[in-house]
Amino acid sequence: MYSLEGKKVWVAGHRGLVGSAVSRRLASENCEMVAVDRQAVDLTRQVEVEDFLAESRPDAIVIAAARVGGILANDTYPVDFLYENLMIETNIMKSAHETGVEKILFLGSSCIYPKMAAQPMREDSLLTGPLEPTNEAYAIAKIAGIRLAQAYRKQYGHDYISAMPTNLYGPGDNFDLNSSHVLPALIRKTHEAKRRGDEELVMWGTGTPRREFLHCDDCADALVFLLKSYSGHDHVNVGSGKDISILELTELVCKIVGFEGRIRHDLTKPDGMPRKLMDSTRLLDMGWKPTTALEDGIRSTYEWFKAREAEGLYQS
């Protein structure tokens, strides 16, 4: 067990969906939180990361900082997704090594697995086939992060571990229709369609792909669990163990939002991977399990979105 009591913990990316959830979860661990805004430290600049870690001296780091986005953003800006994520992870791990950080938890993504990986996706399916082309750049950067953490463990004996969360959602998510993931984008599109009185809601693709979703607070609980109890070479999947088709998800969001129009498919838009379900047996066998039902989580996320909209954060 790695005790967090009395330790200094830096959550890189503490304002993002995952990072903010991990920060909330760590509040009950009697540890000292280290935080820095991107305006003060650019994580893609090595010297800035080195200076920050030399001054702050955290005992543990959760690397939740990343350039993230949905299909459109990934497919449009591959250089940004590859370069920025490579720089963030390499700068933090190198500087952590030089300053004697005790433990690192690196966060990847389910997109690291091959497009046609056997379902549910086990950890050992990594690098067994071609990646999904629409988010290949992001996936390659995350795979490099996993391998870098393993390399530091092999060469220096450092306790660097990696976790691969499934699709996440919840308070603090990105609802920008140009860069968001499927669930927050769907919530906002459905909400705005209802408000305008639209007769139909347009969804991308066929609606047949299946996706797994995990509430960010469940993910944060799993990550703190791993930070305290896991020390191993292999990365660990973090998922709910249940998936749903995009069409079923759309119907569920329509029900929660109260949109009563019809759903129309835009078949000119890509589906992405046909199925993405994580095999989280390794994590579940350690004794962890999620607690938030999908419908409950979407409902609370929708309430959070409406509150932010009322504050003027989101404008149509």
Question: Is there a binding annotation on residue 166?
Answer: yes
Question: Is there a binding annotation on residue 130?
Answer: no
With residues binned 3-state (H G I as helix, E B as strand, rest as coil), the percentages for the chain, rounded to 5, are: 45, 15, 40
Distance CA 47, CA 31 (A): 27
Question: Is there a binding annotation on residue 282?
Answer: no
SS3 call for 175: coil
Question: Is there a binding annotation on residue 108?
Answer: yes
CB neighbour class for 235 (10 Å; exposed up to 12, middle 13-18, buried from 19): buried
83 is catalytic: no
Question: Is there a binding annotation on residue 67?
Answer: no
Sign of CA dihedral 203, 205, 206, 207: negative
SS3 call for 121: strand
Catalytic residue among 77, 83, 113, 138: 138
Distance CA 55, CA 212 (A): 40
Question: Is there a binding annotation on residue 271?
Answer: yes
Question: Is there a binding annotation on residue 299?
Answer: no
Question: Is there a binding annotation on residue 110?
Answer: yes
Question: Is there a binding annotation on residue 26?
Answer: no
Per the annotation, binding residues for NADP(+) are: 13-19, 107-110, 142, 165-168, 181
Binding-site residues sit at 13-19, 107-110, 142, 165-168, 181, 189, 204, 211, 271
Output the known binding site for substrate.
189, 204, 211, 271
Q: What residues act catalytically?
A: 138
